[in-house]
Structures are given as C-alpha cells and as structure tokens.
Chain A
C-alpha cells in the first residue's frame, strides 16, 4: 500500500511536470526555440486564476475565472511572440535561451510585486478533499490533474498529427522559407503556438495551485519539467508526458528509499545520465548537417 501511495502522489506531481514539459515541446516542435520561462508561465497562470477567483482579490466564480485565465495566458503568449521573439529571427538559439531565462526573472519579480511572496492557496473547487480507496489516499485534485493531463496530451497529439494547422506548425519549423513559399503564414503560426503554450501553462498552473500553495518561486519547477522533457525526448508530446511521469515518480521513491541529500539530486542525476548516453534525448531527432 505504501508503494501504491507513493506512486499515486508521484504520478500526480509528474503530470504537472508533464504539462509544463508539454509547453516546452509545443514551442520546440513549432519554432525550434526553447522557452526556459515555461515554469514561470505556469506560475503566472496560477496567480492570474488566483487573482480572479480568491475572495481576497476579485472573487469571481472559479469556473469563470479559470477559462478567463487560460485566455489571458494565451493572449500573453501570443503578444510575447509578437513583440519579442519575432524580432529574434537570425539570432542564435543561445540568445533565445538566455532571453527566456531573463523573462522568467522578470515574471517572477512582477508576480511577487502584485501578489506578494507569501505562499497562497487557490480557492479551487478541485481541492475538496481526499478519498480513501483501500488504504490509498487520493486527493480530488490529484485525480483531476491526471485526467486533464492525459486528455490534453491526447488532444494536442491528435492536433499535431491530424489537423492542417498542426502540420503547418511542424512544417514552419523545419524550413521557414519553404513553408512561407507554400503559403503558410509562418509568423502567425508561430504566434499561435506561443499562445497555445501559454494556455497549456495556465492549465498546468491551475492544476498545480489546486494541489497546494503557490508562491512566485514555483516557476523554478520548470527546471524539473525540463528534465522531464529531455528524458522523454524533446519534440515528442507523449514523450514529454512520459518524462514528466518518470521524474514525478522517481522523486517520492528517492525521498523514501535514498539517504537524505541524495534524494533531491535523483531527477538531475537521471537527466545527466540520459544526456550523456543519448546527447540528443531518448528519441533523437537531430541528424548531422548535410554538406
């Protein structure tokens, strides 16, 4: 039972990592850029919902606030691309990496200034308590996290594989010039993908905030989500979820069975292990340059 309990809480955490990782992978698939601020997007999404819902702030009903927050984050994502990332055409990947890290700092500061640095809890209808199923304690929020994550991964996967827009997004990243000549509005497509990943981040944020308290530093969770994305293979949506689950499950087990001090390094050790033996991620997608 003990093992099962650890597994369930690990899976729920892993789903949040997976959702953040989905955001990375979406952007990476469509633009070959990496958004190191995805964790902070998640935090921002959570705080926007909190600001709309909690009685202390606006006090809107949750089921109105949550979609609103998702929309706001989508718009923010689109605007970010429109005003910032679009102007980075031709600059190195490093420039985007460092820019999004800096963006994370800025978001963290702004969130702290608006909502303070004290941990707060979202007044979420998902956080209604725990069930006890055969000795295993299940939080309602945990179940919601798992269900929503699996559904979202499925739909996004279908979106990329089946719809015209999804295919256009992939084409746009692999050869911008060719995609442009094929009539794909490359810039608009990239803006939309940033918007989509903003929305995904908001969902992750709402779910995460339903599981417990959040503060502006919650965005640092993004680093673990990174480990998840890499372990699962950048560029693969189900891979991101799988990576998130692996990292999520490793954590409680490491904390339970490894000596203190070793447990928190387990995800990173695994990450380095994967990178050393598969430098391009578990599902390699890069081939050598053709000359």
Chain B
C-alpha cells in the first residue's frame, strides 16, 4: 500500500496526489496519443466513439453524480450542441469558434431550462426531462427551415489552421481532435471538483438545508450545475454529429438520453473514471454482441431490441450487486490488493437504511 506523506496543503489541492499517479496518467495520455499508429482505422473509430460518449457522460455526471439531479433529457442537449455547431459552421464560422460557441449556447439554454426544473424533485425532474427529450425531436421537425427536419443535415468538413479533419478520410486527425477535447473537458471537470463550486455541488446533493445554512444559494448552484452539464454535453453532441456524419431529428432520441444515464450509473456515479468506464461499455457492447452472435452461429440477423435489452440487464445487475458501478468494483479490487492479505469481506458492506418520507398523505 502506498502511503502519501503530505508535507504541504498543496498535496490535496494538486491535480495528482503524488508522482506515481501523475506518471500513470501521463503514460495513459501518451498511449492515447500514439494510438493511431498502433490501431487500425476501424478500432480507432471505436475508441473515438468511446471518447465522445465519455464527454457526453462527463456532462451528465456533473449533474447526476455530483449534484444529485437525474436528467433523462440530455439527448436534447446533445442535439442542441450538434445542430448549433453545424449551423454556425454553415454560416461561415470556423470550427474553432463554432464549437465553443455551441457549447456556450447549450449551457445558456440549459441554465434557462433549469430555472423551472430545479424546483422539481426526484421523479418529477426525471419525468419533466423525459418530456423535454420527446419534445426536442418534435421541435427539430417543426424548425425544419433551420434544421432541415426529417431529412437531416450533413456534418461539414472541419478545418483548423488549414488542416482538414474528417471522420472517414482522416480518422487519425479526428481522433486527436476528440482526444484533445476530452482531456480539456476532464481537466475542467476536475478543476471544478477541487474548487469551492464543486464542493457546493456535493453539498446540494447531500443536504440542501445545511448547504443553505452554509450560505449556498441552492437554486443558483443547481442552475449552474445544469448549465455546465449541458455545455459539456453539448460539446459531446457536436462531436457525435461529426462522428456520425449525418444526423436528423431521430439521431438524438429518448433512448440516447436513457442510455447516457444508464452509462454513467454502470460506470459509477460521482467519479470521472465512471464516465469513461461506462462509455467503454456503451461503445463496445454492439461489437461484443455481434461477436457473441457469430460464436453461437446466429449469423447476421438483426434482433430488434437486443442491444437495449442486454444493456438494461447489465444495468440491473450492477444496481443490484455493485451500485457504485465499474469504478466502485475497481476501487474494491485495488484496495483488496493493497491491503492483501488483510482485506475482509465486511469492509464493503452496505449500510441499511429506511425510508421516511415528507409526504402529507
């Protein structure tokens, strides 16, 4: 077991607790950067997909994992990010301006939507966001003059300082672009977590009364969480659009919203790792299923609902047996090895609690 000898408060403020973990993450980034020379284009595309889902997942994680607000409507913000980025570019803005602008716009819209939404609790917020996700589909169709409705849009070529980036013709450049954005989003997320705002989010999640007594403005903090969450998700959505190449009103459906929420639950709520772990599951599940089908000789017959069904089953198993998600399991295995042979089974036992509601009847 590694022991941190802390000699300065900066040890707790720094991004990495010690040199070892810095080296691990540096190595991880180095491998990630070198990936296009190691992998073929197909798998590189899959990894790109993982990273894009992870960005979108980070956005939702900030809201659900850190602030405790479950949203089942984040596909609407994926759509907003995607459409706004592409429309800005069609108006002649370069990608480097259109992309952040789409994130900011999504964040602002998210904050505006949050103003009524934050007064809702638990299931009501979940239901309202479901409605939002369904409405987004119809709104895109109604706004056909701008969004081209059902026929959809094609993602334009990205040009950064004269370098052309496109998913199919230059998968390596597209991958690097996505990787850079992923790292930036992760850093921003991490920075928020280690500063007062991140703690305010956790405070709102765990106890609204005492957060208020500590001087935290609940509504403003939740709206901020909503805004930042939507902004990050919007960026993810824009990249999703470029990854898909073409998209229409059905690309960002309610199922995508639900998948996103399930993804971060499977990955592990409240941790950055969780968003990435979950994204791996989402992105590679179809591959794994088709491989499984080949194994049992199912051939290429598409079974409708198989993917979502299996995904749902995985989620149920996780909630039942490992509510902390893949990240929680990973931590337990790590601790088990670090303490070897002193780890005991009861160490991770869950506390039982009872329901007591504030309902009047």
Q: Is B306 within 8 A of A91, CB to CB? A: no
Q: Is B309 within 8 A of A268, CB to CB? A: no
Given A93-B122, A109-B306; A103-B312 close (CB under 8 Å): yes
Q: Is B308 an interface residue (CB 8 A)?
A: yes
Given A90-B352, A223-B130; A98-B315 close (CB under 8 Å): yes
User: How big is the B interface, by class?
Assistant: 35 or more
| Interface 1/0 per residue, B271-297 and A, CB below 8 Å | 000000000000000000000000000
| Interface 1/0 per residue, B246-274 and A, CB below 8 Å | 00000000000010011001000000000
Q: Is A268 within 8 A of B305, CB to CB? A: no
Q: State in angstroms the CA–CA spacing of A28 and B123 once bound together.
A: 10
Q: Is A97 within 8 A of B134, CB to CB? A: no
Q: State in angstroms the CA–CA spacing of A10 and B329 once bound together.
A: 50
Q: Is A32 within 8 A of B135, CB to CB? A: no
Q: Is B305 within 8 A of A269, CB to CB? A: no
Q: A264 — nearest CB in chain B belongs to which residue?
A: B138
Q: Which residues of A contact B135 (CB under 8 A)?
A: 265, 268-269, 272
Q: Is B303 an interface residue (CB 8 A)?
A: yes
Q: Which residues of A contact B128 (CB under 8 A)?
A: 271-272, 275
Q: Which residues of A contact B313 (CB under 8 A)?
A: 102, 106
| Interface 1/0 per residue, A227-271 and B, CB below 8 Å | 100100011000000000000000000000000011011001101
Q: Is A164 an interface residue (CB 8 A)?
A: no
Q: Quick one: which of B87-104 are within 8 Å of A by CB?
A: none
Q: Is A227 within 8 A of B350, CB to CB? A: no
Most buried by B among A102, A175, A281: A102
Q: Quick one: which of A84-113 are within 8 Å of B by CB?
A: 84, 87-95, 97-99, 101-106, 108-110, 112-113
Residue positions of B touching A, CB distance < 8 A: 64, 68, 70, 72, 116, 119-124, 126-128, 130-132, 134-135, 138-139, 141-142, 208-209, 258, 261-262, 265, 303-306, 308-313, 315-316, 319-320, 323, 350-361
Residue positions of A touching B, CB distance < 8 A: 28, 31-32, 34, 84, 87-95, 97-99, 101-106, 108-110, 112-113, 117, 170, 173-178, 180, 216, 223, 226-227, 230, 234-235, 261-262, 264-265, 268-269, 271-272, 275-276, 279-281, 285-291
